[in-house]
A and B are shown apart, each in its own frame.
Chain A
């Protein structure tokens, strides 16, 4: 392209058309390119995991946050245990009260 006139530069155009690269590709070039792509893709999650671990390591390096984490999990465990026990106790109580009623009332009593 001639910058002054905005016309194609004929000599450059001709040189480009005639140019043939004389360097040949290294053996198994394609295969190695694909191997590098695969390797880099596999490294991305590992790096992410590593970054997370490093971040957590930094967070838990502060004792107050580590204690908060452990306390929160402890409290969650206690609450879950309490809630589950309460639920099961209510269920057992309802079942036993129903059994009492079935024993008392001949018209609700199961026959053998």
Chain B
């Protein structure tokens, strides 16, 4: 009976140990990424197999892009606020609303142009095959999908 208990328990203990060990080792990279200061960039490096030099250049571009992006976000917020005020004051398309919509569309086009430019620069910094893959993916997630998405702010 003792041998039976030892066999049963050792089977269970081994199974649990194997599960925990495999899970822990298998998720080590993900855990490192999430703990990273800039997990999105860490993900980009891992996903598109970037070398350290390429990654450093892309991280610089990323920083510069986000600085410009902050200003454009401020302008978007301003335009949205103005449009909200105009829309709440009437129930017809006034010349002011028409103008505000045109300005919002222009701003959106400008943002998309800057974004696309950044994507091209990043893709050129990557190895050619990965650059193509990055460009196809990121355009699909942003420029192409934008027309079907509600604005989030």
Q: Which of A's residues lie within 8 Å of B, judged by CB?
A: 53, 56-57, 60-61, 66, 69-70, 72-78, 80-82, 84-86, 88-89, 92-93, 96-97, 99-101, 103-111
Residues of B within 8 A of A97 (CB): 43, 47, 141
| Secondary structure of the B contact surface, majority rule | helix
Point out the residues of chain B lying under 8 angstroms from A76, CB to CB. 15
A100 and B146: CB pair below 8 A? no
A-B contact count (CB 8 A): 134
Report yes or no: A111 in contact with B77, Cβ–Cβ below 8 A. yes
Q: How far is the CB of B126 from chain A (nearest CB, A)?
A: 14
| Cβ of B111 under 8 Å from chain A | yes
**Chain A residues with CB under 8 A of B141:** 97, 101, 105
Interface magnitude class on chain B: 35 or more
Q: Please measure, in the bound complex, the distance between the C-alpha atom of A96 and the C-alpha atom of B1, giving whole angstroms.
A: 52
Q: How far is the CB of A26 from chain B (nearest CB, A)?
A: 40
Name the residue of chain A whose CB is nearest to the CB of B140.
Answer: A101
